[in-house]
Structure 1
Amino acid sequence: MNESEILTLLQKYQNGTLSNEEKDKLDAWYLYKVSNSKLQLSEQQLNDSYEYLKSQLSLEKETKVISLWQRVAVAASIAVVLGTGIFYFTKTEKQVNPVVQKVQDIAPGGNRGILTLSNGKQIILSDVSKEGAIAKEGDDEEVTVKLSANGVVTYIINSEANKTKGDVASFNTLSTPLGGQYNIILGDGTKVFLNAVSSIKYPTQFNGDKRIVELEGEAYFEVSKNKSKPFIVKCGNQMVEVLGTHFNIHNYNDEKFVKTTLLEGSVAVSHGNERVVLKPGQQSNVSGTLGKIQVKEVDTDLAVAWKNGRFKFDNADLKTVMKQLERWYGIKVEYRGNVSDVRFNGGTFMNKNLSEVLKVLELSNIKFKVEGKTIIVYP
């Protein structure tokens, strides 16, 4: 993009008319400039530049919470005003050393999964897995398991063979490792997007009066409508019942809450003797230590950002952010000092190397030291 295009995007951002596509372009441009520049913006230098630019582009007052997009706007605006890339505007313009040292980079995750069949056989799935039939299930092989051209596990029911079957079904499990995601279409047509370090257990065909699956980790569901056969997700200490809808469940063992976020339709969340029905835009929080289900209005884009290939944060604390990086990059994070008061707004793409993501987080003055697959965090 040339300077005129960048300035146009920045002005749209200031006016609140920046589209998601334009936002992605500006984000990508900024991260590219940061990753290819020898100069970095410290907090003080950013503030100095910010004061100067308020008179140039009428920027609003900066909030206390770290906002990636405010910093993108400021830093990118400096590049436009000076015409020299990512620099800061001061009287002396001295160079600043980057906090993240140049080390062997860590690549992002991708399509990786393990399909466990009813007989215990495991099939390793990846970007390079060959499409076509990969297994047969059932005594009469009435279910064919296929891998589509775009890397999605699908189940094809042989209706003729299925006529003689009773209510007994075979069960499969799809799981993802660190740095893995995978998608599946169940026998009823329900689409499931499985996030990293997650697993879903399900029948190869739904024979009874209910469609029941079990989830650990995180998944986004687009449930095929069937009013006579409710779809039920068992996870942790809660149960989610739907007829046909779109929702996300976040159920990691190392986090306090099981979060169910509804995007479309309605779902009933049960925990102990309590049951609540969510409306679109609502999220329930369930914990073994809570006496009741908590329900709140949320930005659903945050809950499903991972499915759309993005990290996205809204006043997120540092440890929550780093847990996402641990799962996606297969790293271990250690903390040296108190970082509990550090929070983030904004986000970036998940297809970037780890160093590029850390550069974004560095804008909060958090320091990172990379030692192999271990990231040490300093306040």
Structure 2
Amino acid sequence: MHKEARIPDHILTLIIEREKGAIDGEQSAALHAFLDEHPDLQGEVEAYARIVSKSRQLVIRKEIDRKKAWKKIRMGIGHGHSKRRYIRRWMKVAAVLLPLLGVIGFYFFQPGGVVEEEHSYADIMGTVRQGRATLVLGTGEQVILDGSIVGQMIEREGVSIYKESSERISYTAAASASMHSLVVPRGGEYQLVLPDGTIAHINSGSQLDFPTIFDTHSREVSLSGEAFFEVAHDPERPFIVNSPDFRITATGTSFNVYNYPGDVAETTLVNGRVLVASGRHEGVPLQPGQQASMLHPEDSIRIREVDTDLYISWVYGMFRFRDMKLTDLARRMERWYDVDIVFADDAAGDIRLTGAMQKEKAFESLVWLIEQSANVTFDVVEDKAVVGLKQ
């Protein structure tokens, strides 16, 4: 079983407080105690400290229109504000750093180097993702869910559905059971409160099928794509998620399922306990902080310990990845940004990257960062990007 190295969130917070000059005596003692206990992480801690110190000096540029911003980025204006530092560190600091400092910064890493983006290009160019989905009823009727109906009750087939916000609906009552489907297109995401109170966060390019009334013995749904479940506790009725490659059973827990057709299948447990089964494989128990994965349906289930924040960061507004091949990252970018990406050179797809960015930012911002940190170029025309090696 593989375990990923990590510096705990509370230590990252202490580093940030120290650099802000807001650390108290008790916090300082806790930080020194951690360093004494983990001398091998001294370099990592100081690397984070340098990021924090640098980030506090960021200057947000004035707004300009999208076309001018993209033109400047493509021409290389502002490149003098990005630096490569030949040190290696983990990306967790990005998720902690941004909300605490209240600044906008993006970090990209590749083996042996890091690019620190210190501008607000993504803010300049605006956001691209939105809460949108289609609700398919048992009769086949389709209800478009967008920002046009908020704070109202939708009555269909004897079912009451409350539209809480532009990106969330809640099933409140049903006179009879029928199967509904929530379909989230590429470039969107949505939240659904199921009849039992379980909350499902559904990512781009995904579909969740569920009954309007769960039976008395179990609560069963089917997923194709990615979703994060916060399961309402009910030990008498296990909550079951059927995906193309997995069957996950829980009673009251939080876990993420990533299972798009043709892609790796992953179940990541945040808290509680689940059983993960697949085909001929019996249920394998997961503990918090563990992930079950399978590359092909005929493979055995692999269990490893992971940094769960890396796999659920999308729920909280972050676009994060670690040591990921560019081809795998491209698949996620296609779904998240509703673009098509093709590779003109196979070698470009094999490049591995680690990085973090707020996911509500524009596609062009992520492209710019990738081009600065790797030997690749993106030729973007409307909704298609061709990736090749730099000449």
TM range (shorter): 0.7 to 0.9
> What's the CA shift string for 1:217-270, capped at 9, x where partnerless?
000000000011001001113200001100000011131x21000000010001
> What's the CA shift string for 1:84-136, capped at 9, x where partnerless?
x99xxxxxxxxxxxxxxxxxx79522101000111111111123333211123
Distance 1:351 1:67, change over 3 A: farther
Larger Rg: 1
Answering whether residue 274 of structure 2 is matched by residue 230 of structure 1, we say: no
Preserved contact between residue 136 and residue 180 of structure 2 (Cα < 8 Å)? yes
Answering whether residue 79 of structure 2 is matched by residue 40 of structure 1, we say: yes
Residue aligned with 2:215, SS: coil
Query: What residue in structure 1 maps to residue 139 of structure 2?
Result: 119
Answering whether residue 263 of structure 2 is matched by residue 242 of structure 1, we say: no
CA–CA separation in structure 2 for the residues paired with 1:173 and 1:129: 19
1:312-323 aligned at under 5 Å gives the runs 312-323=320-331
1:1-379 aligned at under 5 Å gives the runs 8=19, 15=46, 26=55, 29=58, 38-40=77-79, 46=83, 50=85, 60=87, 66=110, 70-72=114-116, 108-137=128-157, 141=158, 143-149=159-165, 151-157=167-173, 169-255=177-263, 257-274=264-281, 275-337=283-345, 338-362=347-371, 363-379=373-389
Same amino acid, percent of matched pairs: 27
State the AA in 2 paired with 1:294: R
Preserved contact between residue 44 and residue 89 of structure 2 (Cα < 8 Å)? no
Residue aligned with 1:304, SS: helix
CA–CA separation in structure 2 for the residues paired with 1:225 and 1:349: 31
Distance 1:186 1:177, change over 3 A: same
Preserved contact between residue 273 and residue 287 of structure 2 (Cα < 8 Å)? yes
The count of aligned residue pairs is 318
CA–CA separation in structure 1 for the residues paired with 2:278 and 2:48: 42
Residue aligned with 1:71, SS: strand
Distance 1:170 1:319, change over 3 A: same
Residue aligned with 1:360, SS: helix
- Displacement of 1:17: 5.9
CA–CA separation in structure 2 for the residues paired with 1:246 and 1:335: 36
Preserved contact between residue 268 and residue 311 of structure 2 (Cα < 8 Å)? yes
Preserved contact between residue 217 and residue 238 of structure 2 (Cα < 8 Å)? yes
Distance 1:225 1:187, change over 3 A: same
- Displacement of 1:193: 0.2
Preserved contact between residue 130 and residue 188 of structure 2 (Cα < 8 Å)? yes
Distance 1:46 1:113, change over 3 A: same
Residue aligned with 2:223, SS: strand
CA–CA separation in structure 2 for the residues paired with 1:183 and 1:69: 37
Preserved contact between residue 267 and residue 293 of structure 2 (Cα < 8 Å)? yes
Return the TM-score normalized by structure 1.
0.74
* Unaligned segments of structure 1, at least 5 residues: 51-58, 77-84, 87-104, 163-167
